[in-house]
């Protein structure tokens, strides 16, 4: 039962949002409105610049700053989450790049990985600006799409998209400096796509984003004269190397899903059960979550899971099969909830994927990158 007073982490990565609506200029530099209320923005750096930025030491030091917000209320479940049209889906694709490297994530999807980025309007050399989320490769015409949370691509404090944004599928942080970190390569952002209602209104019912990425680079770091030096090799398209999850919208509110991600932050009581070094998963049946009007949350679905900061953007997969490691994306980790007010996160939630979500996905799914 949901208690009268709830603790809600906004967002799951712990990047504390600034409350209040913003004007139409909040799309930030380089962002433009596309058809269907889709905001697109080109990445600030080239693929090689963003890839080379993330040395082993910087990845190890990337972190989140978790903030908690107390909300009081009767905790009635939202009734707004649900289909706004006919259900639809796009099937997943399998791994097309031939023999796969040895994976540390046994029976877990190679499509899922960690997202790294730096904060805009901040010194990129300052470790405080090095942040991370989770994400997943999904199906697209040009096999170049990553799904994540909108708060993992856009900073509501500065009203700009993040810098030095990269995605590393099947990320695994070994004991050695670079062991296993990029088994399938590193894929830098080319173009961000988010819904206008998140960018302008900070509406977490639209906390999802789709990113077109460049072809990837396999990076081997060598330490020379006390400094890490990258040796870079082009490995081709993301979808060819790890495949892509399917995409589905207007599905049943009550569904059985798997969620994947890289949690690392602490619970409100300070306990830190995860490290973010390896992928974790949750499984459960989704249902409507309580509304949180202060953050415009009216259409979230959720289920019991103890994920903490760092898992944001990780996929919710419907009809997931261990044999193919594929399913259908029906949500992304967005918000962590402490529903019984015991200072432990016990639920995660996602915006309900409806026709608006499909509009944003469709723009990304049909965008070509070099």
pLDDT of 26 above 90: no
Contact 55, 224 (CB under 8 A): no
Lowest-confidence segment of 16-30, 76-90, 322-336 by average pLDDT: 16-30
Range of the domain at 10: 5-78+91-99+109-365
Give domain status of residue 27, yes or no: yes
Indicate the DSSP class of residue 309.
Answer: T
pTM of the model: 0.88
CB burial readout 270-301, b (16+ within 10 A) else e: eeeebebbebbbbebebbbbbbbeebbbbbbb
Give domain status of residue 214, yes or no: yes
Q: What is the mean pLDDT of residues 230-252?
A: 95
Q: What does the pLDDT look like over 110-123, one tens digit per residue?
A: 999 999 999 998 99
Q: What is the pLDDT of residue 175?
A: 52
Give domain status of residue 44, yes or no: yes
Give domain status of residue 257, yes or no: yes
333 band by pLDDT with thresholds 50, 70 and 90: very high
Q: What is the mean pLDDT of residues 332-341?
A: 91
pLDDT of 29 above 80: no
Tracing tokens 């099947």 back to the chain, one arrives at: 170
Q: What does the pLDDT look like over 337-355, one tens digit per residue?
A: 998 889 999 999 999 999 9
pLDDT of 236 above 70: yes
Q: What is the pLDDT of residue 92?
A: 96
Q: What is the mean pLDDT of residues 300-306?
A: 96
Q: What is the mean pLDDT of residues 253-262?
A: 97
184 is written with which tokens?
Answer: 């399938």
pLDDT of 98 above 70: no
> Could you tell me the CA-to-CA distances from 151 to 154, 249, 272, 361 in Å, in that order?
5, 20, 22, 16
Contact partners, residue 190, CB within 8 Å, separation at least 6: 42, 43, 47, 144, 211, 212, 213, 214, 369, 370
pLDDT of 50 above 50: yes
> Could you tell me the CA-to-CA distances from 174 to 101, 131, 182, 350 in Å, in that order?
15, 19, 11, 30
Total domains in the chain come to 1
For all residues of the chain together, what is the average pLDDT? 84
pLDDT of 284 above 90: yes
Give domain status of residue 370, yes or no: no
* Separation of alpha carbons 239 and 260, rounded Å: 18
Q: What is the mean pLDDT of residues 159-164?
A: 96
The SS3 of residue 7 is: strand
pLDDT of 162 above 90: yes
Q: What is the mean pLDDT of residues 184-191?
A: 96
Give domain status of residue 86, yes or no: no
Tracing tokens 């918000």 back to the chain, one arrives at: 335
Give domain status of residue 104, yes or no: no
Q: What is the pLDDT of residue 145?
A: 98
Closest CA to 300 of 203, 197, 211, 210: 203
297 band by pLDDT with thresholds 50, 70 and 90: very high
Give domain status of residue 250, yes or no: yes
pLDDT of 152 above 60: yes
**How far from the centroid of its chain's Cα atoms is residue 185's Cα?**
18
């Amino acid at each position: 039962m949901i208690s009268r007073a709830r603790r809600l982490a906004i967002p799951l990565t712990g990047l504390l949002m600034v409350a209040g609506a913003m004007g139409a200029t909040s799309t930030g530099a380089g962002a433009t409105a596309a058809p269907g209320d889709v905001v697109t923005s080109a990445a600030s750096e080239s693929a090689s610049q963003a890839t080379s930025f993330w040395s082993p030491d910087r990845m190890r030091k990337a972190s989140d700053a978790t903030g908690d917000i107390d909300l009081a209320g009767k905790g009635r479940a939202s009734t707004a989450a649900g289909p706004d049209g006919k259900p639809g889906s796009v099937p997943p694709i399998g791994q097309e790049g031939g023999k796969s490297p040895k994976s540390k994530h046994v029976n877990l999807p190679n499509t899922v990985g960690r997202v790294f980025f730096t904060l805009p309007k901040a010194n990129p050399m300052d470790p405080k600006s090095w942040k991370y989320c989770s994400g997943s490769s999904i199906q697209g015409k040009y096999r170049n799409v990553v799904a994540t949370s909108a708060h993992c691509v856009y900073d509501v404090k500065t009203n700009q998209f993040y810098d030095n944004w990269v995605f590393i599928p099947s990320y695994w942080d070994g004991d050695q400096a670079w062991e296993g970190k990029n088994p399938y390569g590193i894929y830098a952002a080319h173009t961000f796509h988010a819904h206008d209602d998140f960018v302008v209104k900070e509406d977490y019912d639209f906390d999802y984003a789709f990113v077109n990425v460049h072809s990837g680079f396999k990076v081997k770091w060598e330490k020379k004269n006390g400094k890490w030096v990258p040796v870079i090799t082009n490995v081709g398209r993301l979808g060819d190397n790890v495949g892509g999850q399917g995409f589905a919208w207007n599905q049943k509110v009550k569904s059985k899903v798997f969620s994947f991600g890289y949690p690392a932050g602490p619970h409100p009581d300070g306990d830190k059960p995860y490290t973010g070094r390896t992928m974790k998963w949750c499984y459960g049946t989704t249902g409507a979550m309580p509304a949180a009007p202060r953050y415009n949350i009216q259409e979230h679905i959720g289920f019991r899971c103890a994920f903490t900061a760092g898992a944001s953007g990780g996929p919710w997969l419907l009809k997931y099969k261990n044999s193919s490691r594929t399913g259908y994306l029906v949500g992304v980790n967005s918000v962590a909830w402490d529903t019984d007010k015991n200072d432990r996160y016990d639920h995660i939630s996602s915006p309900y994927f409806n026709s608006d979500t499909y509009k944003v996905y469709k723009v990304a799914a049909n965008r070509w990158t070099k």
